Structure 1
Amino acid sequence: MNFDYNTTRNQLILAEYGRNVQNMVKYICELPDLQERNRYAQAVIDLMGFLNPHLRDVADFKHKLWDHLHIISGYKIDVDCPYPKPTPEQAAVKPKHIGYPQQKIRFKHYGKTVETLIERAKNTEEPERRAAMVQGIANFMKMAYVTWNKDNVADETILKNLAELSGGELQLQENINLNKIEFKPMVSRPANNNNNRGRNNNSNTNNGKGRVNNNNRPQRSNNGKPRH
């Protein structure tokens, strides 16, 4: 008996679509009629989109599906593609290295965004708008502090850090109250024992639906008559 193992089959080019899609693409490549190839190719494109619904979140996902169709065929499929056909040379090009950020963050639990907001607030000349921005930044700093440190923080600490990050240019009144933010760890709920409680309460009573407790039944003598 001959067994068909994956190790003896052709290598999957794009494993996320499976071997059946690859066999369909191979069948399309062997069709002699162009119109028939186009019809079957459109059906395979719809199937590929159904098998990978996450591609719908990608910009121009139809273009990506057609590129995958050409890649699965080994760039040999001859169909009328609505997009420019990819080439093996384009697939061999490696993207440029993005690089690591070289910016230093003074308080990492606040993040770089807080420093950017502080610089914008410093450049704001309108007093009312500047005060509102400083108030929002301080509230965000408290939320970020509680999120990463998992502990409550005094408003004096936030005001002190705000003054340090802004070089003393942004300050709030010491008696101001920031939004109250507390870290609340997840607590597992206890098991629901209402059913067991109800059963225990009804075990010694007869409500017409349950059984009568044996202790409440009248005792009978040996001759079958009840005892009083």
Structure 2
Amino acid sequence: MTIEDREERTRCVQTIINIMGSLFPYLRDVNDFKHKLWDHLAIMSDFKLDIDFPYDIVTAETLYTRPETIPYQNYRIHYQHYGKTLERMIERVADYEEGEERTELIRLIANQMKKCFLAWNKEVVDNRKIFEDLRELSNGKLDFTDDSFRLVETKDVLHNKKNKIRKK
């Protein structure tokens, strides 16, 4: 920035780029490595370098622009520990015709509900609580008792979780 001759300034900057590249030799195989170095130099100089850049460099406007906000849905999750995905699955299965496929899906969903509940609350959960929540989330369409399904045991879920932690 203080060198008056533009060609001299460009040669000095080229030397700086070569030094920057030699500091990270393992990155030379990365696509656009030199281009990234020139972008970094422009950013470090606060975009005030008056030289001939060999690449189109990033501009301050594109670098500092905020991304568009993501429009979030404003729906209420009845039980946050189950999540919206399980709620949607329950709604879909509630409309299935009676049959073996529906029964198996309900069993899988109820077991997943129990696992989610135990991840949120590590204490013992009663299967009746899971079936009550299932009934409530399906608006009464899925009404089961403890006797109709055998859910995974609480100790098995908690024990598997401990084993996964130990393996890490």
Tell me, in whole angstroms, the C-alpha distance in 2 between the residues paired with 1:96 and 1:167.
37
Tell me, in whole angstroms, the C-alpha distance in 1 between the residues paired with 2:117 and 2:18.
57
Q: Which has the higher Rg, Structure 1 or Structure 2?
A: 1
- 1:126-161 deviations in whole A, cap 9, x for unaligned? 833322221121111111111212211111111111
State how many pairs are aligned: 147
Q: Is the 8 A contact 2:82 2:113 kept in 1?
A: yes
Q: Which of 146, 152, 165 matches 1:179?
A: 152
Give the AA of the match of 1:80: P
C-alpha displacement of 1:95: 2.4
Gaps of 5+ in 2: 1-7, 163-168
Q: CA RMSD in A?
A: 4.1
Gaps of 5+ in 1: 1-28, 51-55, 187-228
Question: 1:80 maps to what in 2?
Answer: 54
Question: 1:168 maps to what in 2?
Answer: 140
C-alpha displacement of 1:165: 0.1
Query: What is the percentage of aligned positions where both structures have the same residue?
Result: 29
Q: Does 1:120 align with 2:92?
A: yes
- SS state of the match for residue 11, structure 2? coil
Tell me, in whole angstroms, the C-alpha distance in 1 between the residues paired with 2:130 and 2:42.
57
- 1:109-136 deviations in whole A, cap 9, x for unaligned? 2222211221332354583332222112
Question: 1:40 maps to what in 2?
Answer: 18
Query: Larger relative contact order (C-alpha < 8 A, sep ≥ 6)?
Result: 2
Give the direction of change, closer, same or farther, for the CA distance of 1:43–1:141 in structure 2 (3 Å limit).
same
Tell me, in whole angstroms, the C-alpha distance in 1 between the residues paired with 2:139 and 2:20.
62
Q: Which of 108, 111, 116 matches 2:83?
A: 111
Question: 2:165 maps to what in 1?
Answer: none
Give the direction of change, closer, same or farther, for the CA distance of 1:150–1:80 in structure 2 (3 Å limit).
same
Larger helix proportion, structure 1 or 2? Answer: 2
So what's the TM-score if we normalise by structure 1? Answer: 0.49
Q: Is the 8 A contact 1:118 1:137 kept in 2?
A: yes
C-alpha displacement of 1:181: 2.3
So what's the TM-score if we normalise by structure 2? Answer: 0.63
Q: Which of 127, 134, 137 matches 2:106?
A: 134
